[in-house]
Structure 1
Amino acid sequence: MRISVVGIGKAGSLLAKFFYRKGYSVSHLINRTPEQALKLAHELPGCKAGGFELLAELEDVVIIATSDSAIRDTFLRIWNVNTRPEYFIHLSGAISSRVFEEAAKAEKGVASFHPNLSISSFSISPSLLQKAIFGLEGNEKGIAFLASIAKKEGLRYVNISTESKILYHAAAVFSSNFTQLMLKQAESLYREKLLFDNLSVVELLESYLEGLLKKVKTGTLSEFSGPAARNDQRTLELEQRCLSEINPKLGKLYEELSCMIRHVRGD
């Protein structure tokens, strides 16, 4: 079984390295700018690297690791010159396997296999994938194929229906991107406005994160503290006003999040 990766960015490189080191035949590394693929090929001897001129050579399994907006176009570039591959897979969290509709109608295996990892983590060793949880969605053939590989390689995954793909990704955005944004705002206030030293900032953020992780594990995320939870209107108004003076959008965000806490609590 030969695996080809199209789109040699951080995610594509990580997957190519993972399969190569697990003993799979990674036959082709393809990128819009061939230099990126050629660079990775130096680390993975035996892989053929280049640009879209190689699309006609692909067989067996094709993993498309481009940006979401380019997945459909990349697939069509392949399909229009080469219908031999038996499986078409992409890594997007938001887009479903419906982008491979022509392949599905031809009874190919189609799927999306999204690694729940912060994008900055993609520079870390491919072994990180064995700590990640993938979101798996696709047709019966595609799901069966990826599930068998996941079982063999010890990869964890959750099944997602095609209709639920957008909601799944929205939850991931809340878990990762929005959480990071909140931490970044707190860090900026500690450093730039309160002038705390680096060690104090790190320890403060770590302390709050550890507390949140305990709530995740004990199922108590609906138990809030703070001025919104205790309905301390005076503190809410003072803090919102102070933040609005720094940045009106920050003050508005504080107001909206306070309202959401009350909503979640059922107040």
Structure 2
Amino acid sequence: MRHGRLHRQDAPDRQLHLRPQGCQGVAAGFEQRTRRGLVEGGAGAGAPAPSPAVADATGAAAPLVPTADAWGDAIAAAPERIPAPKHAARATAEGAPVPPRVCAGPGRLRLAVVGAGKVGCSLGRYLGESAAVDVVGFCSRDEAHAREAVEFAGGAVFASPIEAARAANLLLVTTPDTSIADVWAELARAARAGELSLRDKLVVHCSGALASGIFAGARKLGAHACSVHPLYAMSSRFDCWRELGRASFTLEGDDWAVDLMAGLLRARGNQVTRVAAGAKTRYHAAAVMASNLVVGLFDMAAGELVRCGFDRAEAEAALAPLFLGNAEHIAKDGVESSLTGPTVRGDHATIDAHLACLDGRDRQAYQLLTEQLGDIVRRRATEG
């Protein structure tokens, strides 16, 4: 894979470091200040000045992240501060063509994404729209996918996760779950060999089922690790990013990394919930129930209508308003207020008739879910 050349003349000469304490709300505050285009008070008396760049053994520059208390003022004080580069498509639409490039200002989060599929493109673009983030590029086993992602969200094409990690201080791993450990093993090996510094970098994966512990030894290598999972079904590489503003995100991992990512997401208006590492599998099962398994239930219902004489397209179209209306009601008013049908009416004769005409898995699913609805009815009665 061809390596995307980084434009070093666009990078600042001075860099800052972030202490891993007191980061709650840091990213949120930074985005708010940056969106206004200024920092209240500027770089007045007592504002910390940026520290000189520090190169590691590989010659790579230290992370462009300031101390927590200097996040806003030091950026405003830096004379080399420049506008955040955004993806070429938007710049062109605004009448100012800008090729994908690395152009991070002091203190900005430089985001590189390993994986250029639906999640990588969607989250890369969504986070890149934040005033606190510059997208520096993408890495993918499929170079064409990486090029498409760069054209969509900006940055450069990286030949490997190692090159992506060198350019970033926020590395987002959006590969399939089975590949996350391999990506980390490659990065950890390079770090232990002195080919890459992970000091003070955020390493984040987006698996719903896996905990951040898959980044084994991250703390010893100086990295901060967490998992960030959007509770949202991403069906498109280039469209779903627009819908992520209404998604809830679940975070788990290193306190500092979780706090920073939570601040960044809350600044964008997202609901954020933290879970323990040991709860990730149960959490993911719940997500599958509300997303993937609903598809199976819908398919069962459509199959029963086909047995009534509908063709498949007619069945799905007929069920769609019922399905969407109920989903909207649940989302707006909650489960208990949305319950209708024979269970809530106590119409056991109808339920028995349904069970008598159904067979196989459809009958089993109907019976199990009816028992669940009975629990909701009883809970609603108990709670008044």
TM over 0.5: yes
Task: Give the SS at the match of 1:84.
Answer: coil
Q: Structure 2: how far apart are the matches of 1:200 and 1:55?
A: 48
Please, what TM-score do these two structures have when normalized by structure 2? 0.59
Task: Give the SS at the match of 2:216.
Answer: helix
Task: Give the SS at the match of 2:219.
Answer: helix
Which residue, 16, 26, 35 being the options, matches 2:124? Answer: 16
Contact 2:302 2:312 in 1 (8 A): no
C-alpha spacing 1:21/1:223, structure 2 compared with 1 (3 Å): closer
Aligned AA (1:50): A
Partner residue of 1:84?
Answer: 197
Cα drift, residue 6 of structure 1? 0.5
2:231 paired with 1:116: yes
Matches within 5 A, 1:224-243: 224-227=339-342, 235-243=350-358
Partner residue of 1:28?
Answer: 137
2:274 paired with 1:166: no
Which residue, 56, 62, 67 being the options, matches 2:176? Answer: 67
**Structure 2: where are the runs of 5+ without partners?**
1-108, 380-384
Moved more, 30-39 or 8-17: 30-39
Contact 2:249 2:273 in 1 (8 A): yes
Aligned AA (2:321): E
Contact 1:109 1:142 in 2 (8 A): yes
Matches within 5 A, 1:1-267: 1-22=109-130, 24-52=133-161, 54=163, 57-82=166-191, 84-85=197-198, 86-120=201-235, 123-191=238-306, 193-195=308-310, 202=317, 204-211=319-326, 213-215=328-330, 217-221=332-336, 224-227=339-342, 235-244=350-359, 248-265=360-377
Q: Structure 2: how far apart are the matches of 1:3 and 1:56?
A: 9
Task: Give the SS at the match of 2:252.
Answer: strand
Q: Structure 2: how far apart are the matches of 1:162 and 1:230?
A: 41
Deviations 1:205-239 (A, max 9, x none): 42354245435544452875545556666644543
Q: How many pairs were matched up?
A: 264
C-alpha spacing 1:9/1:46, structure 2 compared with 1 (3 Å): closer
C-alpha spacing 1:229/1:149, structure 2 compared with 1 (3 Å): closer
Contact 1:37 1:50 in 2 (8 A): no
Q: Structure 2: how far apart are the matches of 1:133 and 1:98?
A: 22
Cα drift, residue 177 of structure 1? 1.8
C-alpha spacing 1:70/1:45, structure 2 compared with 1 (3 Å): closer
**Structure 1: where are the runs of 5+ without partners?**
none
Contact 1:6 1:62 in 2 (8 A): yes
Q: Structure 1: how far apart are the matches of 2:323 and 2:136?
A: 46
Query: Could you tell me the percent identity over the aligned residues?
Result: 23
Pair member with larger Rg: 2
Cα drift, residue 46 of structure 1? 3.8
Task: Give the SS at the match of 1:102.
Answer: coil
Contact 1:113 1:136 in 2 (8 A): yes
> Aligned-pair RMSD on alpha carbons?
3.2
Structure number with the higher helix fraction is 1
C-alpha spacing 1:243/1:50, structure 2 compared with 1 (3 Å): farther
C-alpha spacing 1:126/1:70, structure 2 compared with 1 (3 Å): same
Moved more, 27-36 or 135-144: 27-36
Aligned AA (2:373): I
Moved more, 90-99 or 197-206: 197-206
Moved more, 194-203 or 88-97: 194-203
Aligned AA (1:5): V
C-alpha spacing 1:226/1:19, structure 2 compared with 1 (3 Å): closer
C-alpha spacing 1:55/1:211, structure 2 compared with 1 (3 Å): closer
Cα drift, residue 144 of structure 1? 1.8
Q: Structure 1: how far apart are the matches of 2:315 and 2:328?
A: 20
C-alpha spacing 1:192/1:33, structure 2 compared with 1 (3 Å): farther
Q: Structure 2: how far apart are the matches of 1:80 and 1:125?
A: 34
C-alpha spacing 1:194/1:226, structure 2 compared with 1 (3 Å): farther
Task: Give the SS at the match of 2:113.
Answer: strand
Moved more, 193-202 or 103-112: 193-202
Q: Structure 2: how far apart are the matches of 1:15 and 1:120?
A: 13
Choose between structure 1 and 2 for higher RCO, CA contacts under 8 A separated by at least 6 residues. Answer: 2
Aligned AA (1:185): M
Q: Structure 2: how far apart are the matches of 1:131 and 1:53?
A: 33
Moved more, 41-50 or 216-225: 216-225
Please, what TM-score do these two structures have when normalized by structure 1? 0.81
C-alpha spacing 1:228/1:18, structure 2 compared with 1 (3 Å): closer
